[in-house]
Structure 1
Amino acid sequence: MESGERTLTELFEDVVARFPDRVAVTAEDRELTYQELDHRAAAVDRRLRKAGVGTGSLVALLVPRTSRLVAGLLGILKSGAAYVPLDPGYPRERIAWTLKDSGVTHLVTTHELAEPLGDLGVGFVVLDESAAASEPPATAGPGDLAYVIYTSGSTGVPKGVEVEHRSVVRLFDVTRDWYGFDEHDVWSLFHSVAFDFSVWEVWGALLFGGRLVVVSQESARSPEAFHELLREQGVTVLNQTPSAFVRLAAVDETARHPLTAPRVVVLGGERLEPAALRGWFDRHGGERPRLVNMYGITEATVHASYRPVTADDISAPGVSPIGVPLPDLGFHVLDEHGRPVADGSPGELYLSGPGLARGYLGRPELNKERFVEVPGPAGTLLRCYRTGDRVIALADGGYGYLGRADDQMKIRGYRIEPGEIEAVLVQHAEVSAAVAVAHDYGAGDLRIVAYVASGTPADALAPRLGERAAAVLPPHMRPSAYVVLTELPLTLNGKVDRARLPAPTAEAALAPVAVAPDTACELSGSERRIALIWQSVLELPEVGRDTDFFDLGGTSLSLLRMFGQVNEEFGTDLDITVLIEGATVEALARHVDAALSGTAPTA
């Protein structure tokens, strides 16, 4: 593939000419050769042009995971328009909002999806089984839009990211030497077309003459069914979010027929914890398939970095390695004032280069905020995208991903990167995934709660995780509670869905420090009353007389609440400094007993 300054559709026409009879798409409904796919896309193109669609237009795409999805997408591009993908799983209100916000005039869809939508104020172009002879693509150029994909916004309002043809074309130009994609590759289209990982999957196949296997919604939701599909179809290039791949790897571990066809697995879309791949490496090694972590964002056209995952990464705690920038992109790590950080210091990542999106559709103020100019070499100014992601330059010349700047937690005055905690927890052999979040227990009492995926019961696993955290992490970074789930909830895009994580409860979440079974019977009267207050404030089923308050998950705010309740319970006026040498039930009870008797506390 020699791209130069050409469009996706022009390059696709070249592939059709080279491989007309090779299978281009395999889906539940049918297989299509490149020539058949081209003819079906041409029929969509003809109907769109007849409806007045042309270069510069935006056309919405709402199609199930069938061969028609690929034909509809290609047909929109052939007309010169850009596609605005919608997922059939979206609520009608979300679909209607996106249509209005994007300003599209037409929606390419199917009969079964169009009927329940009703009147949405746009023209419907309903896909059928017709085909037409291919005609030259419309006069779209490399600088015209290929798609507008909506991503979640920090304000709660989605924003449409405008990506041009040339940004997608150069993505495959600059990565081709790393991967060697060709007509013998089989790709799976696992992700929703409304998630930009799908751009990599679709064009990775179609620009090189490969075969694209469209994964049905049912198979995408079932790791077992997906594993079987990958094996049956001989998929050689697999693309997954780490969360989804961990589930697939668990199936492969016990499968009668493990996967053998993949030659490369590309991981992206969210933070990778290499330790979660321990079992996979034990079975498959790191050469066949090769596992590659690619950090990326929609605003930089899917992928921005490249990092093969090695066996050494599995046992190396710390940051998530994302490797080096793609050859035509620049990484700039800046502090909160927009100045370069010292080598080895964390900062916010700014991206520059031809992979950057045109901007956000209809969001001029947001464009000014996120697409900014930073000083470049020789007094120049570079157009950069401010990612909001925190990274650090590593000694090997690559970068490590720390997490979102807005995911940072501030606990007891400390700024905490949740990724550091998650990396420690995933090192445990019985944990396949972990997420650390700040949970407000009321009155601003923020504590770290860890959610882990494991098949081990919580009462057995939580104390062991607590011991590991205590051995590795400073006190302010240790989770106050652990919620053990069989698996973490995922979004439609395969990322961890934090909004669906259950609230921690005394039954579901256990404190990291185990309490001896016979501790409760050893408590004196005052100790028992204080312990009950601690249980209430910390939301724990029991506490020990010699366990430190902070080791049980307490924070400075919860300590103040607890201390106030103790003074109220006993009618004392103790100062909190009495706990300066140790905040245990036993120590506090000694001070309470001394205050009530008018004597000095005994050691």
Structure 2
Amino acid sequence: MESGQHTLIELFEGVAARFPDRVAVTADDRDLTYRALDDRATALARRLREKGTGPGSRVGLLAPRTSALAVGLIGILKSGAAYVPVDPGSPQERISWTLEDSHLTRLVTTPELAAELGELKGIEIVLADDSATAAEPEGTGTGTGAQPDGTGTGTERPGAATGTEREGTGTGAEGAGVGADDLAYVIHTSGSTGVPKGVQVEHRQVVRLFGVTRDAFGFDERDVWTLFHSAAFDFSVWEFWGPLLFGGRLVVVPQETARSPQAFHELLRRERVTVLNQTPSAFARLAETDARAELPLTELRLVIFGGERLEPAALRAWFTRHGDQLPRLVNMYGITEATVHASYRPLTTADAEVPGISPIGAPLSDLAFHVLDDNGRPVADGTPGELYLSGAGLARGYLDRPELDKERFLELADPDGTVRRCYRTGDRVVALADGDHGYLGRTDDQLKIRGYRVEPGEVEAVLLADGAVSAAVAVAHSYGDHDVRLLAYVASDLTGRDLAPRLGARAATLLPPHLRPSAYLVLPELPLTLNGKVDRVRLPEPTADTVHAPIAVETDGTPHLTDTERRIAEIWRTVLDLPEVDTESDFFDLGGTSLSLLRMFAATNDAFGTDLDITVLIDGATVAALARHIDAAL
């Protein structure tokens, strides 16, 4: 059978039958074998089917970074439904909107998150891992052990536990009636009209992704992967199934560990991770930590980039320390509408010396790149154009957005008359020598902030809903290498000091963290072009005197601020380039990044003569929390 004809559940159950006693998932400081994961997911699938879930259904998934995420995701697919992930960090309104937009009647979650949600009209809560049913015996099947290329694997890492194959279990029992053309998931991306759009991806599109990349990467059961990204971010699809379709191990990274490069580096070393997937921004902070680490990452063999533009020059220091062979660094251009990844480009030390071009390589073997001009005609090599994608990876389309489907998923004719279904990416690229391509940026004003795709219109729509705002523009503003934040320009009669906290509160209620502006610049009016559009070129540069933080600020001399808090707040104002910082606002909500976090800690330790690690902020990344640790250390 061709790899594109398998479902994810067929492949997973085959692996579980082949390696029942191997560890599938490490989470919550506990190991879950393939047998246990399969059993628990099967129990969930049965509960869902008893409630009427089956092929053609969609089920919401709201789970923390625990084993419940793996059980919930696989259990939903085993029931025959597609999963719709919702980030637990999103506001209640955003969660409710996603559930409503997806026409969901069931939500798989945990007791803790269910309690926080309260009552959801028309939504039935189903627990991801019900202890009363988790140990139910599973159904029977054949257990083929199929891999994405249609074969099994047999090579064991020396010393690894092989387990014993189960007889009479595996494929066939669960996911009955589901085919390769059925939906696997719907992931929502930012929408230019202020409304996110759900991208529908089928089983076959995910399966073929691993089928066409397996040989290039050498994935097998010896690999250990991390789940670093949110399940609501499509990079997680690659991270989740990468180990589980080959018999490898998935390490679920806790949220607090993901925020601390030191803690994450230690996790990579402790868990002997071999395959690491990162946005360039996240890898930059990890690389800085690695440069100072006493113990190296000896098992790491692959670092795969995605999610945002990569600047190879930023890898110079890494290449100087490690070379470019082990681990091997690979850049993969991709978009949600083309099933996570669309290209493959190994990186070398020579790439770090070529400025201005972000190399994305050639398309995957079952995809094609078409670089076209504004009139839809192919451009010559070396000439920039807009990238159109065709091939087996294209998503089914958008959920209930037929007009947007017509606009983005197009039928285009080749010079020889062949008609292809293409996706218009909105990205500018240039074809280079030997099939390579360089990424140049967006053709529109869509942004990438910390690996997330941001449509400014979605942010602006929330700000414009405030009656005091007559115009709003959200832009990405660079504060240095890898330090890009979302800045909002708004037109209002109110002052920035009065309006910014109000808009910050609105954004915190209606937008997830990556869509919330880190600062506001308030003007009487925004500059316009001759045709009445906001003239982005003439927007003033932000300064410490003109931007305002999206929080209610403390003023100098407030009695309850301690001397330690005042000194830390001053460091934060300098590092974040903000006019004011209060004691209870989260560093990342104020616009902090991983790199600025490192700079802030270095400055803090220098100022107080301490040697605190970033992990002290696990209980809160605020001025007040840091001050408590400083006072305790002095």
TM-score (norm 1): 0.70
Structure 1 pair 383/447, CA: closer, same or farther in 2 (3 Å)? Answer: closer
Structure 1 pair 2/187, CA: closer, same or farther in 2 (3 Å)? Answer: farther
| Aligned pairs (5 A) from 1:559-598 | none
2:106 corresponds to 1:106: yes
Q: CA deviation at 1:222?
A: 1.3
DSSP 3-state at the match of 1:108? strand
Structure 1 pair 63/391, CA: closer, same or farther in 2 (3 Å)? Answer: same
Which of 495, 500, 522 matches 2:518?
Answer: 500
Q: 2:475 and 2:66 mapped to 1: Cα distance? A: 46
Q: 1:235 and 1:148 mapped to 2: Cα distance? A: 29
DSSP 3-state at the match of 2:70? helix
Larger radius of gyration: 1
Q: CA deviation at 1:325?
A: 0.2
Q: Which residue of 1 aligns with 2:411?
A: 373
Q: How many residues align?
A: 445
Structure 1 pair 259/2, CA: closer, same or farther in 2 (3 Å)? Answer: farther
**1:469-500 deviation line (CA, Å, top 9, x unaligned):** xxxxxxxxxxxxxxxxxxxxxxxxx9987943
DSSP 3-state at the match of 2:59? strand
**1:151-205 deviation line (CA, Å, top 9, x unaligned):** 1112221100000000000000101110010000000000101111111011110
Q: 1:296 and 1:302 mapped to 2: Cα distance? A: 5
Which amino acid counterpart does residue 238 of structure 1 have in structure 2?
Answer: L
Which amino acid counterpart does residue 111 of structure 2 have in structure 1?
Answer: H
Structure 1 pair 262/311, CA: closer, same or farther in 2 (3 Å)? Answer: same
Range with greater deviation from structure 2 (322-331 or 215-224): 215-224
Which amino acid counterpart does residue 405 of structure 2 have in structure 1?
Answer: N
- Is the contact between residue 332 and residue 344 of structure 2 (CA under 8 Å) also seen in structure 1? yes
Range with greater deviation from structure 2 (125-134 or 247-256): 125-134
Structure 1 pair 447/134, CA: closer, same or farther in 2 (3 Å)? Answer: closer
Structure 1 pair 95/354, CA: closer, same or farther in 2 (3 Å)? Answer: same
2:213 corresponds to 1:212: no
Structure 1 pair 445/148, CA: closer, same or farther in 2 (3 Å)? Answer: closer
Structure 1 pair 447/78, CA: closer, same or farther in 2 (3 Å)? Answer: closer
Which amino acid counterpart does residue 131 of structure 1 have in structure 2?
Answer: A
2:214 corresponds to 1:172: no
Which amino acid counterpart does residue 246 of structure 1 have in structure 2?
Answer: A
2:151 corresponds to 1:151: no
Q: 2:362 and 2:242 mapped to 1: Cα distance? A: 21
Structure 1 pair 39/346, CA: closer, same or farther in 2 (3 Å)? Answer: same
Q: Which residue of 2 aligns with 1:254?
A: 292
**1:286-339 deviation line (CA, Å, top 9, x unaligned):** 111000000000000000000001100111112100000000001001111111
2:5 corresponds to 1:5: yes
- Is the contact between residue 295 and residue 304 of structure 1 (CA under 8 Å) also seen in structure 2? yes
Q: CA deviation at 1:376?
A: 2.2
- Is the contact between residue 89 and residue 513 of structure 2 (CA under 8 Å) also seen in structure 1? no
Range with greater deviation from structure 2 (153-162 or 163-172): 153-162
Which of 300, 303, 308 matches 1:270?
Answer: 308
**1:493-545 deviation line (CA, Å, top 9, x unaligned):** x9987943676544589xxxxxxxxxxxxxxxxxxxxxxxxxxxxxxxxxxxx
2:137 corresponds to 1:133: yes
Unaligned runs of 5+ in 2: 140-172, 449-455, 457-470, 484-511, 522-540, 547-634
Which amino acid counterpart does residue 233 of structure 1 have in structure 2?
Answer: E
- Is the contact between residue 29 and residue 66 of structure 1 (CA under 8 Å) also seen in structure 2? no
Q: Which residue of 2 aligns with 1:462?
A: none
Which of 395, 399, 415 matches 2:437?
Answer: 399
| Displacement over 4 Å in runs of 4+ | 443-450, 494-498, 501-509
Q: Which residue of 2 aligns with 1:14?
A: 14
Q: Which residue of 2 aligns with 1:452?
A: 480
Q: 1:316 and 1:343 mapped to 2: Cα distance? A: 18
Q: 2:223 and 2:394 mapped to 1: Cα distance? A: 28
Which amino acid counterpart does residue 126 of structure 2 have in structure 1?
Answer: V
Q: Which residue of 1 aligns with 2:226?
A: 188
Q: 2:268 and 2:2 mapped to 1: Cα distance? A: 30
Unaligned runs of 5+ in 1: 409-417, 420-436, 438-442, 456-493, 510-603
Q: 1:293 and 1:96 mapped to 2: Cα distance? A: 35
- Is the contact between residue 4 and residue 205 of structure 2 (CA under 8 Å) also seen in structure 1? no
Structure 1 pair 21/176, CA: closer, same or farther in 2 (3 Å)? Answer: same
Range with greater deviation from structure 2 (114-123 or 98-107): 114-123
Q: Which residue of 2 aligns with 1:203?
A: 241
Which amino acid counterpart does residue 351 of structure 2 have in structure 1?
Answer: D
Q: 2:476 and 2:240 mapped to 1: Cα distance? A: 40
Q: Which residue of 2 aligns with 1:476?
A: none
Q: 1:444 and 1:95 mapped to 2: Cα distance? A: 24
- Is the contact between residue 302 and residue 326 of structure 2 (CA under 8 Å) also seen in structure 1? yes
Q: 1:285 and 1:444 mapped to 2: Cα distance? A: 46
| Aligned pairs (5 A) from 1:217-296 | 217-296=255-334
Q: CA deviation at 1:340?
A: 1.1
Q: 2:420 and 2:477 mapped to 1: Cα distance? A: 40
Q: 2:476 and 2:245 mapped to 1: Cα distance? A: 46
- Is the contact between residue 187 and residue 236 of structure 1 (CA under 8 Å) also seen in structure 2? yes
Q: CA deviation at 1:2?
A: 7.1
DSSP 3-state at the match of 1:378? coil
| Aligned pairs (5 A) from 1:87-102 | 87-102=87-102
Which amino acid counterpart does residue 206 of structure 2 have in structure 1?
Answer: V
Which amino acid counterpart does residue 357 of structure 2 have in structure 1?
Answer: V
- Is the contact between residue 309 and residue 358 of structure 2 (CA under 8 Å) also seen in structure 1? yes
Q: Which residue of 1 aligns with 2:73?
A: 73
Structure 1 pair 363/258, CA: closer, same or farther in 2 (3 Å)? Answer: same
Larger relative contact order (CA 8 Å, sep ≥ 6): 2
Range with greater deviation from structure 2 (390-399 or 296-305): 390-399
Q: 2:218 and 2:482 mapped to 1: Cα distance? A: 37
- Is the contact between residue 42 and residue 131 of structure 1 (CA under 8 Å) also seen in structure 2? no
- Is the contact between residue 231 and residue 260 of structure 1 (CA under 8 Å) also seen in structure 2? yes
TM-score (norm 2): 0.66
Which amino acid counterpart does residue 403 of structure 2 have in structure 1?
Answer: E
2:333 corresponds to 1:329: no
Range with greater deviation from structure 2 (56-65 or 21-30): 21-30
Structure 1 pair 114/224, CA: closer, same or farther in 2 (3 Å)? Answer: same
Structure 1 pair 449/68, CA: closer, same or farther in 2 (3 Å)? Answer: closer
